[in-house]
Amino acid sequence: MNYFERLKDIREDKDFSQKDIAELLNTTRQQVSKWETGAQKMGVDKYIKLAKLYNVSLDYLLGLIDTPRKLK
């Protein structure tokens, strides 16, 4: 699984819409879509916000590991 596919999968698993994430990250739904398709890269500051929201480690969110680890 590509890291950007994980962004979409975890968002859907947590029952958030692209609009919800866009509002949290102060961007547009279209920008979230670009991140989830790999058309554009997302900044580390936004990854940190998503990791906190989803309560998962950055290495999981970035696709470096396949088993989610919760944040402490």
pLDDT value of position 53: 96
Ordered per-residue pLDDT tens for the chain, 72 residues: 788 999 999 999 999 999 999 999 999 999 999 999 999 999 999 999 999 999 999 999 999 999 888 987
Dump the DSSP string for the chain.
--HHHHHHHHHHHTT--HHHHHHHTTS-HHHHHHHHHTSS---HHHHHHHHHHHT--HHHHTTS-SS-----
